[in-house]
Structures are given as C-alpha cells and as structure tokens.
Amino acid sequence: MKSKSQHLERKRRIIVGMSDARVSDCATELLVTYSLGSCIGVALYDPLVRLAGLLHYQLPSSVQDPARALERPLMYADTGMEQLLGQMEKHGAQRRRMKVILAGAARMLNDTQLFNIGSRNHAAIRKFLWQHNMLIEAEEVGGSVPRTMYVRVLDGTVFLKTKTGVRQL
C-alpha cells in the first residue's frame, strides 16, 4: 500500500507558478502549485475528456488594475478563470461537467485585517462561479498555513500538502 506522498512522487510534475495556469490531459502528469498563502489554487477537472486545469491567482478582481490585468490576466480571479476556462474548453472540456476544487485563501502574517486578501480572494471566486453556474465540489480555505496543491490528471484527484502532511481533498 503506497502512501499518498509516494504516489505523488511517481508522476511527472507540471509546475504552475504564481499568476499562472496550466492544463493537461496526460494521465501520468501531476499539476502542482506551491506556496498558496492568501492566493487561491483552482483545480478544474472534466471527467469525460480527462482534462485537468490548475490556476494560481493572487488578487480578487481585475477591476483594481485593468492595465495590469491585460498584461497578466492570470493574476486575478475573474480574468484568470476566464483564461483557464477558455483553455480547457478549447481542449474539449465543458464547464457543466467540470469539478471545481479550491485551496488557499489563508490569512498570512503580512496580510493585515485591512486588506484581508485571502477572504476577498475567496469571495471573488465564489461570486465568479455562481455567475458562471458552477458549484464547488470541495475546498480547504482559510487558516494561516501555506499549502501546496497537486492535481492528479489521471482522475482529477486533488491533494494538499502542508507542514502536517499530505491529504486528499
């Protein structure tokens, strides 16, 4: 019986940086994003075409800085999600079939009550999903710990790694 972390080690990793998104339909790959603090990782999976996508966005809304959003759309929840959904649909995925899993939105030490980026990021993605008729399958948000998020392309299973270990979401 393999442990969860052993199973993750056997896959080829596609790294998703900050303000970045990747999609994959290669069953031997794993989409990974590190250092999710107040940022949010959004994993999408269409089980019919077996396509996985992962977005790591930093801020809630492109309205805050439209010029920067044009330059770096994956930095924001709204423009980032539009881009990720567009990429996935281009590869044959349909949003009505997609499973949505979220992680992140922590309150980190450098995030004051005034800005509270984590909870604003969470509210922004919930609003986006509601407007686009999508529900969340599972999520782990809040707290004050950084998270690493893994998406197994084979079946869309999401694992989270924190200082306490690896668990399936």
Partner 1 sequence: MTGENCNVLIVDDSALIRQVVKRTLSMAHVPVGQWFEAADGQAALDVLRTNKVDLVLADLHMPTMGGIEMAQHIMADPAMRQIPVIVVSADPNTERLDGLKRQGVRACLRKPFTPEDLRNVVREVLGGPDHE
Half-sphere exposure of 143 (CA within 13 A, CB side): 13
Could you give the 3-state DSSP secondary structure of residue 147?
strand
Write the burial class of residue 131 (CB in 10 Å: 0-12 exposed, 13-18 middle, 19+ buried).
exposed
Structure tokens at 109: 């030490």
The token duo for 148 is: 């690493």
**Per rule CB under 8 A, is residue 23 in the interface with partner 1?**
no
Q: Which residues contact 166 (CB under 8 A, 6 or more apart)?
A: 3, 4, 5, 8, 159, 160
Residue (16 or 45) nearer to partner 1, CB: 45
CB closer to partner 1, 115 vs 130: 130
Taking the complex as a whole, the smallest distance from the CB of residue 132 to partner 1 amounts, in Å, to 9
Footprint of partner 1 on residues 120-139 (CB under 8 A)? Answer: 126, 130, 133-136
| CA 134 to the chain's CA centroid | 15
Q: How far is CA 85 from CA 9, 33, 164, in A?
A: 28, 18, 32
Least separation in angstroms between CB 136 and partner 1: 5
Q: How far is the CB of 85 from partner 1 (least distance, A)?
A: 15
Closest approach, Cβ 112 to partner 1, in A, equals: 27
Nearer to partner 1, 91 or 132 (CB): 132
Nearer to partner 1, 113 or 133 (CB): 133
State which of residues 12, 13, 97, 167 lies at the interface with partner 1 (CB under 8 A). Answer: 97
Where do contacts with partner 1 occur on this chain (CB under 8 A)? 96-97, 126, 130, 133-136
